[in-house]
Amino acid sequence: MTRQARACWLRSPGVAELRPVPLPEPGPDEVLVRTLFTGVSRGTETLVFAGRVPPGQYATMRAPFQEGDFPAPVKYGYLNVGVVEAGPERLRGRTVFCLYPHQSAYVVPADAVAPVPDGVPARRAVLAGTVETAVNALWDAPPLLGDRVTVIGAGMVGCTVAALLARFPGVRVQLVDTDPSRAPIAAALGVDFAAPERAAGGRDLVVHASASSAGLQRALDLLAPEGTVLELSWYGDRPVQVSLGGAFHSGRLTVRSSQVGMVAPARRASRSYADRLALALELLADPVFDVLLTGRSPFAELPDVLARLTAGSLPALCHLITYDGE
């Protein structure tokens, strides 16, 4: 008998459903993985769910194991942790991370999975893709010793960047968000917190991750002369407006983009994608990252979870999806 799994598909923008999918027998260089947890990447996945990927970005925004095409029907997602049930002996029984969509089991090439270190719980390992994004960002615009750095947007990516910045010696970090309930999260990460209107100025580096025009404008306003805004937000098809008058030219300010699809130029010659992911998983040994796991739901409820996250009725950083009983 052909073994079957279940996968979450976006049937049409705003409507997701679970579908049965056949699983092929794994070949000699493949693994069969039983999923333990997936994570919903709230920013990107809600834009996909709402059908807001711009046509010009369809190819760029494809996930590694995506099926279907934007806007729909499409199977999307990339934060998956499971156990290898069949495959090369070195991987059998290992907990692994894979950039695979929300599916209860799957078969992929063995080199597409990364073993989770023994000190990293499986549930926390779903954050590996987000930590990888933060690592790449800090390769793109690393702070210097003693820098004053602000992160605007206390979502999943912004909090992860702040958590890593807190480890840099002498670097003073402030996390900025319009939601005062994010203050305890900032405290747990070991950084200061401020509302946008009370944020400290004169910053050497501002990492922007709020996905809003107002946030990007505030990032520019907070910079010291010759400072840099590192833009991590993805806006989908929404227009972005900022004022480049005032001190933008006289202050020689810089806006720089960062995106995880390519290894940052500063490390591209010496680090592979696998190296970057292995580093992200190693960093997740720190239990401070547990504060980013803000809720959990069974896989059967994922279509409703995606709808609620997109509507804003379910607040979350990383929402964990569990697969017990699948």
**CATH number for the domain harbouring residue 240:** 3.40.50.720
Does 274 fall in a domain?
no
How many independent structural domains does the chain possess? 2
Residue-wise pLDDT tens digits, 29-73: 999 999 999 999 888 899 999 999 999 999 989 999 999 999 999
Q: Indicate the length of the chain as a whole number.
A: 326
Does 303 fall in a domain?
yes
Q: Is the pLDDT of residue 326 over 70?
A: no
The pLDDT, as a whole number, for residue 316 is 85
Residues 104 and 135 in one domain: no
Average pLDDT (17-34) is 96
Contacts of 239 (CB under 8 A, 6+ apart): none
The residue ranking higher by pLDDT, 13 or 41, is 13
High-pLDDT (> 90) share of the chain, %: 92
Distances in Å between the alpha carbon of 134 and those of 23, 72, 190, 232?
A: 33, 29, 17, 9
Instruction: Give the whole-angstrom CA distance, residue 121 versus residue 290.
Output: 10
Instruction: Please tell me whether residue 181 adopts helix, strand or coil conformation.
Output: helix
**Beta-carbon count within 10 A of 125 CB:** 28
Instruction: Give the whole-angstrom CA distance, residue 190 versus residue 237.
Output: 34
Does 318 fall in a domain?
yes
Phi, psi of 175 (to 5 degrees): -100, 130
Instruction: Give the whole-angstrom CA distance, residue 256 versus residue 304.
Output: 36
Show the tokens assigned to 95: 């907990």
The pLDDT, as a whole number, for residue 223 is 98
**CATH number for the domain harbouring residue 40:** 3.90.180.10
Does 47 fall in a domain?
yes
Domain ranges, residue 137: 131-257
Does 76 fall in a domain?
yes
pTM of the model: 0.93
Instruction: Give the whole-angstrom CA distance, residue 96 versus residue 132.
Output: 15
Instruction: Please tell me whether residue 261 adopts helix, strand or coil conformation.
Output: coil
Contacts of 64 (CB under 8 A, 6+ apart): 78, 99, 100, 112
H-helix or E-strand containing 251?
Answer: none
Residue-wise pLDDT tens digits, 222-271: 999 999 999 999 888 889 999 999 899 999 999 999 999 899 999 999 99
Residues 24 and 72 in one domain: yes
Instruction: Give the whole-angstrom CA distance, residue 25 versus residue 83.
Output: 16
Residues 146 and 111 in one domain: no
Residue-wise pLDDT tens digits, 63-121: 999 999 999 999 999 999 999 999 999 999 999 999 999 999 999 999 999 999 999 99
Instruction: Please tell me whether residue 320 adopts helix, strand or coil conformation.
Output: strand
Phi, psi of 19 (to 5 degrees): -125, 145
Instruction: Give the whole-angstrom CA distance, residue 306 versus residue 134.
Output: 24
The pLDDT, as a whole number, for residue 43 is 80
Instruction: Give the whole-angstrom CA distance, residue 24 versus residue 141.
Output: 43
Angle among Cα 158, 161, 163 to the nearest 5 degrees reads 110
The pLDDT, as a whole number, for residue 325 is 58
